Amino acid sequence: MKDNILTDHTLIIDELETSIKFHNWNFILSFLPKGSYLVGGYIRDIILGRVNEEIDIDIVVPFNALQIGKKISNNFESKCIILDDKREVVRILLNHISIDIANQVSSTIEGDLSSRDFSINSIAFLFDQKCLFDPLDGLKDLKISLLRTQSEINLQNDPLRILRCFRFVSELNFKIDPKLINFIEKNKGKLYLVAKERINYEIQKIVNGRNALDAVVLVKKLKIFGSDEFYKDSFFLDLKKISFADLNYEEKEKFLPLFFIAQILDVVSLEKFQFSKAEIAKTKLLRKWHLLLKTTNIAKLKEPDRFELHQELEMFLPSFIFYLPQSLRLDWLNRWRDSDDKLFHPSNLVNGNVIKKNLKIKDGPILGELLKYLSKELAFKRLNNFDEAIYKAKQWIKQNAPKCD
């Protein structure tokens, strides 16, 4: 149960009105007809005391949503996007604020709220009456941190809402109502009817939330993206047995999302859901080195392989450490944190231009291999200064440059 949320209607209304003025969108209220109301995440986050950089506002009007949106946009020179012409849903973009205006879909406000995804998003603030309307007990669910839906049909109408459940676990640390869990298990297959970009967006929200671990564990437990056999792949670890304490706060924020993505989706799924080329490439590298270390003791890894490992994983090594033996994780992390550690951060004493000038060689595969060799020598502490680098480069060229007849 959350002790710091607002429960008194008067206090909530005061906070809402203060926030509306603070974010400077109160000027649009005069354009709204009688019976308009604010609903959704804006109210929910005010009640929870959440601060968001991006302000998303949902307003319901009795009629003429498109005309109202266009009128507001024209008066304040803001961008206007028609999201749904048939259902009359329009979005106005005002600096950092996104305002969605939609027509009421039911003859009553209660009916309209009953069609929304979850009770916590079904609390309305009636502008003209300056009062809250909470027919589905969303305020109570916020207090006990419970995610509950009024009707499963609401989720079937947009299966993405199934995935959004895990987003609220991740971002808000909510529990999911057991009835809703049963529904998710029976209907998770319908997620594949949803646009891939929308699924990608929700997954990113899930893995970047403050309670991402709990959400990802639940995604795996309910096998949202795979069959019973999917998570038997050795690459998918038992997240409950992993300690993440070795990572500092910044490392967790930066590197755990990739690790979590790789723990709920394989490469085929990443491609299917249109993840970036960088995310797919990194996941492939995580898998490559995990597979090698499953068959080879890391202490017996050959120098070229160990060097290649650090070359390929340098930029996101903290995402990989959970595939290492527990006894090695902190040592690897500390060495990676040391930017002067030349094995964990491969570099060169001399660049290609210097090599070309001093050794009279041209661009090409030979130069690339030479630079890699010098970097490896530096990484394993067999190279200390510029003169040694030039000497070793000359020796390497004698042994490896093509011989002319």
Mean pLDDT of 128-132: 94
Q: What is the pLDDT of residues 278-323, one digit of tens each?
A: 999 999 999 999 999 999 999 899 999 999 999 999 999 999 999 9
φ and ψ of 316, to 5 deg: -145, 35
What percent of the chain stands above pLDDT 70?
A: 98
pLDDT on residue 156: 86
Q: Judge whether 235 and 287 are in contact, CB under 8 Å.
A: yes
Confidence of residue 405 (pLDDT cuts 50, 70, 90): very low
Q: In whole angstroms, what is the distance from residue 213 CA to residue 222 CA?
A: 14
Burial class (CB in 10 A: 0-12, 13-18, 19+), 358: middle
Query: What is the bridge-based pairing of β-strands 146-147 and 175-176?
Result: parallel
Confidence of residue 3 (pLDDT cuts 50, 70, 90): low
Q: Judge whether 180 and 219 are in contact, CB under 8 Å.
A: no
pLDDT on residue 183: 93
Confidence of residue 40 (pLDDT cuts 50, 70, 90): very high
φ and ψ of 252, to 5 deg: -60, -45
**Domain 9-143: CATH architecture, name and number where available:** 2-Layer Sandwich (3.30)
Run of H or E residues at 376: helix 365-379
At residue 173, what is the residue type? N
Confidence of residue 403 (pLDDT cuts 50, 70, 90): low
| pLDDT beyond 70 at 2 | no
Q: In whole angstroms, what is the distance from residue 9 CA to residue 204 CA?
A: 34
Residues in the chain: 405
Residue burial 306-345, b: 16+ Cβ < 10 Å; e: rest = bbbbbbbbeebbbbbbbbbeeeebeebbeebeeeeebbbb
Q: What is the pLDDT of residues 255-273, one digit of tens each?
A: 999 999 999 999 999 999 9
pLDDT on residue 355: 85
pLDDT on residue 230: 85
Q: Judge whether 142 and 44 are in contact, CB under 8 Å.
A: yes
Confidence of residue 350 (pLDDT cuts 50, 70, 90): confident
- Give the relative orientation of helices 178-187 and 160-172 as an angle to the nearest 10 degrees: 140
Which residue bears the tokens 């012409």? 85
Q: What is the pLDDT of residues 66-110, one digit of tens each?
A: 999 999 999 988 899 999 888 899 999 988 899 999 999 999 999
Q: Is 334 helix (H, G, I), strand (E, B) or coil?
A: helix
Q: In whole angstroms, what is the distance from residue 164 CA to residue 12 CA?
A: 25
pLDDT on residue 196: 94
Q: How many Cβ atoms from other residues are within 10 Å of residue 21's Cβ?
A: 11
pLDDT on residue 226: 81
Q: What is the pLDDT of residues 379-396, one digit of tens each?
A: 999 999 999 989 998 999
Partners of 57 in the beta sheet? 99
| pLDDT beyond 80 at 4 | no
The domain 147-223 is classified under which CATH number: 3.30.1330.30, 3.40.50.300, 3.30.360.10, 1.10.110.30? 1.10.110.30
Q: In whole angstroms, what is the distance from residue 347 CA to residue 349 CA?
A: 7
pLDDT on residue 253: 97
- Listed by start position, the domains of the chain span 9-143, 147-223, 352-400
| pLDDT beyond 60 at 1 | no
Mean pLDDT of the chain: 92
